[in-house]
Amino acid sequence: MEYFLEFKGIRKSFPGVQALRDISFRAEGGRVLALLGENGAGKSTLLKILAGDLSADEGEVVLGGAPLSFSSPYDAIKAGVSVIYQERQLIPAMSVMENIFAGALPRNSFGFIDKPRLKKDTQAIIEKFGLPIDPAAPAGRLSVAYQQMVEIMKAYRRGSSVIAFDEPTASLAEAEISILFKLIAELKREGKIVVYVSHRLAEIFQITDDIVVFKDGALVKTFVTDETSEPELIRAMIGRDIGDTYANLSRNTEYGETLLEVRNLVAKQVKNVSFSLRKGEIIGFAGLVGAGRTEVVRALFGADPMISGEILLEGKRVEFKSPAEAITAGLALCPEDRKEQGLVLYHSIRDNVSIPVLSKIRRFFFLDRKAESALAGGIVDKYSIKTPGIDKIVVELSGGNQQKVILGRWTSDQMTTKILILDEPTKGIDVGTKAEVYQMMCDLAKQGFGVIFISSELPEVIGVSDTIYVMRGGRVTGCVHRGDATEESILSLAMSDTVKTERGDAK
């Protein structure tokens, strides 16, 4: 019997936004179907309808010929549908095994949880995935990558007939991505229906069979993966060719004096790191997961304590005891986890962009709402944030527009930012918005900002950065200038035990 999942005439709207417009397509069992489109195209809304988080205004979802009707995510799970979101949905205080078997904990003859069996069954799943995870460890203490793998193991344990992945590799290292792809291949062999959302086109071509492209809430076109190309998909997604993204960037070519100098920095997972940053320069940090890149900028920003070393800002020695001190001095950080650390999700764009300048836009003891509105409106216009208005709650924006809100907050006319630190700013963002973010970085450099850029995607760290520092094991193993950088040379340094700390050593 042919097994399939079908969406028929799905429509969904929110105040001021038509999120989905008459969406109809079919996903076959034993095949992997990709949902592709820019941020805000409607992919996540469709997944939430599939998962029972939202109800469609019109249309129906059919599984194997039978209409589905979910009033909650629990209904979807019972029907054999699992959706694994980019945002983790674990209970941090509970163990790995309790999270994986949530809702189906084994019981002994007395009705109590059978912990030996629970641990044994969890260990069997962990071994299938080949991961070094303790079943009894609290889920909240795992790395972001391993928390994502726990989410995937939870869906696998349920034996769902439909499994949808929303940007599953955004937080995973290469080894974990390889494990995930092997699992997806196994699900495919078992005849499962697999829906896969990713902005990484290389992944789309590697593991999918069919592609559905969305734009502005509408279905643009469906493709057979083997019969299309990357340029054709990009044209369908954004309605135009973007050419060579990096070659087309308008860059800064003149650097000013040294803004920042870091000497022999030692901190949590950071060992004797030195680097410098000039006005108008973009320096990139490359390295494998766990190399210590994020830890360097957290120590620099005052989020983690320095153990030893020196930081010189415009020639003067500084040591920030808190992020507030760093912000006052002219540093700003766009963190890797923008939802957890960068935004107040259930507040408006207006509220989020005005947070660091509230003392500047008040009259006596009261907030000047007119000034606040002007500030937020200017940022929305400057960064082309797609929103019906400045009072839109940021959790309802796409990932790319959320990132623009954070950029706007730190670069508004009210701020005195000199150094902008961007930690994985394009994670979970579509190719069109990525190009916008790259140009924003270059524009800020032309305005005299110093930009520190961390990325796990080698093509973009090579394509955007003027100077690239490569890290391994908490140390800088080399410094490469853009004109000399290749993926091979960066990877070689990322896996090297030889430390080269001078700017230009690796030229």
- Give helix 399-411 / helix 431-446 axis angle, nearest 10°: 10
Amino acid 1: pLDDT = 40
| Per-residue pLDDT, 502 | 43
Counts of helices then strands in the chain (DSSP H, E)? 16, 22
Percent of the chain with pLDDT over 90: 48
Determine contact, residues 140/92, Cβ cutoff 8 Å. yes
User: What span, in angstroms and rounded, lies between the C-alpha atoms of 381 and 408?
Assistant: 10
Residue-wise pLDDT for 466-492, tens only, equals 999 999 889 999 999 988 988 888 888
Domains annotated for the chain, with CATH where assigned, are 4-238 (3.40.50.300), 242-330+417-507 (3.40.50.300), 344-415 (no CATH)
Cα 485 to the center of its chain, rounded Å = 25
* Distance in angstroms (rounded) separating the CA atoms of residues 351 and 6: 40
Cut 0.85: pTM above it? no
From CA 491, how far away is CA 287, in angstroms rounded? 8
Q: Six-digit token pair at 129? A: 């995935």
| Residue 47: Cβ within 10 Å count | 20
Question: Tokens for 284?
Answer: 């990139």
pLDDT band at 159 (very low <50, low <70, confident <90, very high): confident
pLDDT score for 2: 58
Q: What is the pLDDT of residue 414?
A: 80
Written as one string, the DSSP assignment of 74-110 is HHHHHTTEEEE-SS----TTSBHHHHHTTT---B-TT
Rounded to whole angstroms, the Cα distance separating 182 from 176 reads 10
CA 474 vs. chain centroid, Å, equals 22
pLDDT, position 141: 87
Confidence (pLDDT) at 496: 66
Under 8 Å between Cβ of 59 and 11: yes
Most confident region among 56-65, 141-150, 332-341 by mean pLDDT: 56-65
73-77, 303-307, 388-392, 503-507 — which is least confidently predicted?
Answer: 503-507
pLDDT of residue 199: 81
User: What per-residue confidence (pLDDT) applies to 504?
Assistant: 43
